[in-house]
Amino acid sequence: MNDSPPRLLLVAACALVDSGGRVLIARRPDGKAQAGGWEFPGGKVEAGESPEQAVVRELREELGVEPCEQCLQPFAFASTTLEGGRWLLMPLFVCRRWDGFVDPKENQQIAWVRPERLSDYALLPADRPLAAELRDRLAGEKVS
């Protein structure tokens, strides 16, 4: 029996929500783990960073937008095993205000999706319960 604890992978992600209540998801580009799956923008928290700082950095790098840290609302988290024996711990923030226009920097496909339609997409497994939570808590917001 192998009693060694799983290696923890700390990832921070963010659901950008536009004024119409739609959520941004992105398709993982070729060459990355789990390529082709849909996810919330974000990435690994680097040494010395807070999850909030990691999200701000990743949104800038991946999408060219600049949220202020104070606009990141802690929403939910994923805690689950990943292929390869690692354990993913991933806080998900919601952000409704940012500077700049979304411009995918890594040739990734993006989609703005009503929360109740998120389950139509091939989300990464860890993201499915988070999408259900977004549906339950954000759905019904007024579309402008």
Q: Which residues bind ligand 8DG (CB under 6 A)?
A: 11, 13, 32-34, 39-40, 42-44, 82, 88, 90, 124, 126-127
Select 21 or 38, whichever has its Cβ closest to ligand 8DG.
38
Closest residue to bound ligand 8DG by CB? 43
Closest approach of Cβ 32 to ligand 8DG, in Å?
5
**DSSP assignment of 61-79:** HHH--EE-GGGEEEEEEEE
Least spacing, CB of residue 1 vs ligand 8DG, in Å:
26
Q: Which is nearer to ligand 8DG, 113 or 124 (CB)?
A: 124
3-state secondary structure 15-46: EEECCCCCEEEEECCCCCCCCCCEECCEEECC
Closest alpha carbon to 12 in 121, 120, 88: 88
- Pull the structure tokens for residue 99: 């500077």
Q: How far apart are CB 93 and ligand 8DG at their closest, in Å? A: 11
Taking the least distance from each CB to ligand 8DG, the nearer of 80 and 116 is: 80
CB of 119 to ligand 8DG, least distance (A): 14
DSSP state of 129: H
